[in-house]
Each structure stands twice: as C-alpha cells, then as structure tokens.
Amino acid sequence: MRAKDVPPHLHERYGVRPPSPLRWVAVGLALVVVVPAGLYAASRYVATQRIPYALISWVPQGEHQARVLWKLDASSDRQWCALRAQDFEHFDVGFAVVPVEPGATSVQYVMATRARPMALDVVACETDPYGLPGPQFPPGVRPPDQPAPGYAPGVRAPDELGLQN
C-alpha cells in the first residue's frame, strides 16, 4: 500500500503523508550534482594514480651527497619520483625529482644535500611530475641543485629538461 492510497484518517493518526513533489526535485538535483562530482573525482584518481615504490637502501656519501636505491613497478610510461633527505630536526636538506625510464624496476641516484642527512625517503612516484609533492625547506633556504637527470624544484625549471605542460 502506497502513502497516497492510505485513507485520510490514518494520515492524521499516524502522520503518514504522501510524498511531496519537492522531494523528487531534491533527489533529482542531488543526482545532477553528486554523480558528476563522483565521476570527476574518479577521473582525477585514475589520471594521477601513484605508482607503487619501495625504498631499498640509502647511504650517505660524505657531507653533501647520499646514494639512494629504490624499486618500483615497471610501466610503459615515463615516471617521476620525488626523493627527500632530512636532517635530525626533520627539515629538508635535499630534495630531488628524478625521471625513471619506461620499464625500469629499480633506480639508483646520487642526491645532493645541504648537510649530512639523517633520514631519506622516496616521497612519491607518478607519471605526472607536476603532481608530486614539493620540498619542505626552512624559510629562506634554497634547495641544492641536483645532478642530472634529476632536478630540484625551484632551482632548475622542469621545462629545461624537456617536460611538456
């Protein structure tokens, strides 16, 4: 039995009311807003999906360098990985964005640092270098320039490396 088929005296006794036409308008508007928003969020997730990676090892190479080795899933696309070296107070002392050629499963890179690092991590790997997180240097501290093929954001422009916007 539908609400509109209920006798009027039962509507009064039990508070059952027929559905309002505004309810259907609200449901329609919600679908018009929620479905496109969900599709947009899903498309952004697929377009900027991060690539699985794992840090294998890192070793300081003197006071201003560290050798990093990490593995990642092979892909047919060029990938970019962000590396971060931090000091004892968790400030960045080095940050590099390193290109990874298609099909590579492990990468080794010698990273330049401002001081001896206490921790080093692969922050993220993606197919879009502009989607990578940035460095966290203290105010007024410039990141050290990184040896090719890597670069330090803000020191050498990605366009100099042939990246397309």
pLDDT at 52 over 50: yes
Please write the tens of the pLDDT for every residue from 9-20. Answer: 877 787 766 667
**Tokens matching residue 157:** 């422009």
Report the number of distinct structural domains present in the chain. 2
Are 117 and 65 contacting, i.e. CB atoms less than 8 angstroms apart?
no
pLDDT at 62 over 60: yes
Q: Is the peptide bond before 99 cis (omega within 30 degrees of 0)?
A: no
70 and 137 assigned to the same domain = yes
38 and 64 assigned to the same domain = no
pLDDT at 103 over 90: no
81 and 13 assigned to the same domain = no
Angstrom CA distances, 2 to 5, 11, 163, stand at: 5, 12, 62
Instruction: Output the pTM of the full model.
Output: 0.66
32 and 80 assigned to the same domain = no
22 and 88 assigned to the same domain = no
13 and 83 assigned to the same domain = no
Q: Which residues of 86-104 are buried (b: 16+ CB within 10 A; e: fewer)?
A: bbeeeebbbbbbbbbeeee
The range of the structural domain enclosing residue 74 comes to: 53-161
138 and 80 assigned to the same domain = yes
pLDDT at 148 over 50: yes
36 and 92 assigned to the same domain = no
100 and 77 assigned to the same domain = yes
Please tell me the predicted confidence (pLDDT) of residue 10: 77
34 and 79 assigned to the same domain = no
13 and 78 assigned to the same domain = no
Please tell me the predicted confidence (pLDDT) of residue 164: 46
Banded model confidence at residue 85, pLDDT cuts 50, 70, 90: very high
Please tell me the predicted confidence (pLDDT) of residue 165: 40
72 and 112 assigned to the same domain = yes
